[in-house]
């Protein structure tokens, strides 16, 4: 009898301290499930916010227009080089010696591919999409070797690429007036 009284007393003490044992386990399980549900909702919200931020970044970069294709179609698009986020890619092209506006335009036309944009900036002018101005004919395609008499036009071309006038004049002089050779020299110097 004493033993039973002690056990009852201990049970009462445990219940007073911990509550009903079965109830405590159920309560802990419910709390755990509620915490998991809260974390899952938070991850979903963060995932949506991240997707929205990426889309806004692409829109800002001019890589996509507001009527953009879906994520699957973008991922399926083949890429020649490494596609980087717009601000970093523009910075990289500016470090190579290109004007920020020209770099941003080339990146937009190259779908964010830095290598393709660099080729576009150094190559002969190509037909731009309707929404942009037609390129100025620099005479590069019809006369690959330019004479020193046409240096002002060539200098302007290099200046439009982002090089300063003195560097452009020196590069054209060193290249014998050949705009494409001068641009290649300046780009190789800018990379180093």
Task: For residue range 3-21, list pLDDT tens digits in order.
Answer: 888 988 887 877 777 666 5
d(CA 27, CA 183): 73
What pLDDT shows up at residue 192?
59
Does residue 67 lie in a domain region? no
Does residue 68 lie in a domain region? no
Range of the domain at 90: 82-191
Token representation of residue 170: 């020196």
Does residue 66 lie in a domain region? no
Q: What parts of the chain have a pLDDT lower than 50?
A: 64-85, 129-134, 136-150
Based on the domain organization, do 94 and 31 belong to the same domain? no
Number of domains observed in the structure of the chain? 2
pTM for the whole structure: 0.27
Based on the domain organization, do 18 and 95 belong to the same domain? no
Task: For residue range 109-121, list pLDDT tens digits in order.
Answer: 888 888 888 888 8
What pLDDT shows up at residue 62?
60
| Cα angle 29, 34, 37; round to 5 | 125
Does residue 69 lie in a domain region? no
Does residue 73 lie in a domain region? no
What pLDDT shows up at residue 146?
44
Q: How far apart are the first and last CA of the chain?
A: 94
């Amino acid at each position: 009898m004493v033993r039973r009284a002690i056990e009852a007393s201990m049970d009462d003490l445990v219940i007073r301290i911990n509550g009903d044992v079965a109830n405590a386990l159920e309560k802990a399980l419910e709390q755990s499930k509620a915490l998991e549900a809260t974390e899952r909702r938070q991850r979903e919200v963060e995932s949506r916010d991240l997707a929205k931020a990426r889309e806004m970044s692409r829109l800002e970069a001019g890589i996509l227009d507001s009527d953009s294709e879906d994520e699957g179609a973008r991922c399926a698009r083949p890429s020649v080089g490494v596609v980087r986020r717009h601000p970093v890619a523009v910075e990289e092209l500016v470090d190579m010696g290109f004007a920020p506006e020209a770099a941003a335009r080339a990146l937009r036309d190259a779908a964010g591919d830095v290598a393709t944009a660099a080729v576009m900036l150094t190559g002969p002018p190509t037909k731009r999409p309707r929404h942009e101005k037609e390129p100025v004919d620099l005479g590069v395609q019809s006369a690959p070797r330019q004479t020193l008499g046409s240096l002002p036009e060539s200098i302007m071309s290099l200046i439009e690429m982002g090089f300063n006038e003195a560097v452009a004049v020196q590069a054209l002089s060193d290249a014998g007036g050949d705009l494409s050779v001068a641009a290649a020299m300046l780009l190789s110097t800018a990379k180093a």
